[in-house]
């Protein structure tokens, strides 16, 4: 790559002040930056920092591979920038425009300094384009990564939120399931239920599926797996909250739930659990008397 392209670092270095001034005024007048979310001083700081880092990095090498180490500092700077911009509610276009808007002043200077040498000018412009495009895309990539992290975190939280294991009585646990059961959720549900069984020494677990919208063969299989795992550990399961349509669906699909005790409501399941534990609940004999 060591060809006439090396003019780019020199241009950036020599005209740093003019480029910065022009770049800043461009950014201020463009609609994106008039939203007032970023104070002028901060924008000036950031632009200056970016430009000096760019000059520094391109001085060290004219190898325009933005993955190599001399670009690490500028990549880091852009990572921080897109992170702070993203939390302030900027769109990825607005963040990337920060980098892309440098092209205009840069190209202008290059054209002025290399008027006499069209070949060098073309090369310089080409290199500047590649470099700034790569850096601009980097900001977009970071922005996207942040979004993905956010989504992943929310998914995790959702999974944790929706699988509480509650203790109904000494030795009786309940697991009210809400939402569709997929493989991943079943795994979490199974683990948390089994762990609570051990922690509380409970021998009966009531799995309530009132909040599960549909039961297909897969969901039934997941339920049966949970029941089998609990049985292996020495605990019994009762499935409750089976709605009329779900009962019909289960029969139509030919799912065999005969190995598990099933009840229509959580109250019935609780009564059965108490009975199995040898407990009875009755009205106090001397109520009000």
Contact residues for another protein (CB under 8 A)? 187, 190-191, 194-195, 197-198, 201-203, 225, 228-235
Any residues with CB less than 8 A from the CB of 58 and at least 6 apart, and which? Answer: 8, 9, 12, 131
Instruction: Provide, rounded to whole angstroms, the least separation between the CB of residue 222 and another protein.
Output: 10
Identity of the residue, 151 or 233, whose beta carbon is nearer to another protein in the bound complex:
233
Instruction: Provide, rounded to whole angstroms, the least separation between the CB of residue 161 and another protein.
Output: 21
Any residues with CB less than 8 A from the CB of 169 and at least 6 apart, and which? Answer: 270, 273, 274, 277, 279
In terms of C-beta density within 10 A (0-12 exposed, 13-18 middle, 19 or more buried), how is residue 149 classed? exposed
Instruction: Provide, rounded to whole angstroms, the least separation between the CB of residue 232 and another protein.
Output: 4
Instruction: Provide, rounded to whole angstroms, the least separation between the CB of residue 276 and another protein.
Output: 12
Question: Contact at 8 Å (CB) between 209 and 239?
Answer: yes
Instruction: Provide, rounded to whole angstroms, the least separation between the CB of residue 193 and another protein.
Output: 8
Question: Contact at 8 Å (CB) between 206 and 172?
Answer: yes
Identity of the residue, 135 or 194, whose beta carbon is nearer to another protein in the bound complex:
194
Identity of the residue, 92 or 171, whose beta carbon is nearer to another protein in the bound complex:
171
Identity of the residue, 234 or 289, whose beta carbon is nearer to another protein in the bound complex:
234
Identity of the residue, 48 or 203, whose beta carbon is nearer to another protein in the bound complex:
203
Identity of the residue, 194 or 215, whose beta carbon is nearer to another protein in the bound complex:
194
């Amino acid at each position: 790559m060591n060809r006439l392209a090396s003019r780019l670092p020199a241009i950036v270095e020599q005209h740093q002040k003019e480029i910065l001034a022009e770049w800043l005024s461009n950014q201020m007048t463009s609609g994106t930056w008039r939203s007032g979310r970023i104070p002028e001083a901060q924008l000036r700081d950031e632009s200056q920092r970016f430009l000096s880092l760019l000059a520094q990095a391109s001085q060290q090498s004219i190898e325009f591979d933005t993955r190599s180490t001399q670009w690490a500092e500028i990549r880091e700077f852009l990572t921080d920038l897109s992170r702070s911009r993203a939390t302030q509610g900027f769109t990825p276009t607005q963040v990337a425009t920060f980098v892309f808007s440098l092209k205009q002043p840069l190209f202008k200077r290059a054209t002025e300094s290399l008027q006499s040498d069209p070949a060098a000018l073309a090369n310089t412009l080409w290199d500047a384009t590649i470099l700034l495009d790569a850096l601009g895309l980097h900001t977009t990539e970071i922005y996207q990564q942040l979004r993905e992290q956010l989504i992943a975190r929310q998914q995790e939280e959702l999974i944790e939120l929706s699988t509480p294991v509650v203790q109904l009585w000494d030795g009786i646990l309940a697991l009210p399931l809400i939402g569709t059961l997929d493989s991943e959720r079943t795994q979490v549900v199974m683990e948390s239920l089994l762990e609570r069984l051990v922690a509380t020494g409970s021998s009966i677990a009531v799995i309530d599926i009132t909040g599960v919208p549909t039961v297909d063969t897969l969901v039934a299989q997941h339920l049966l797996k949970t029941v089998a795992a609990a049985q292996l550990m020495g605990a019994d399961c009762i499935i409750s909250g089976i709605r009329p349509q779900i009962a019909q669906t289960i029969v139509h699909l030919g799912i065999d739930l005969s190995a598990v005790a099933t009840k229509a409501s959580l109250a019935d399941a609780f009564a059965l659990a108490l009975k199995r534990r040898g407990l009875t609940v009755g009205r106090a004999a001397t109520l009000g008397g």
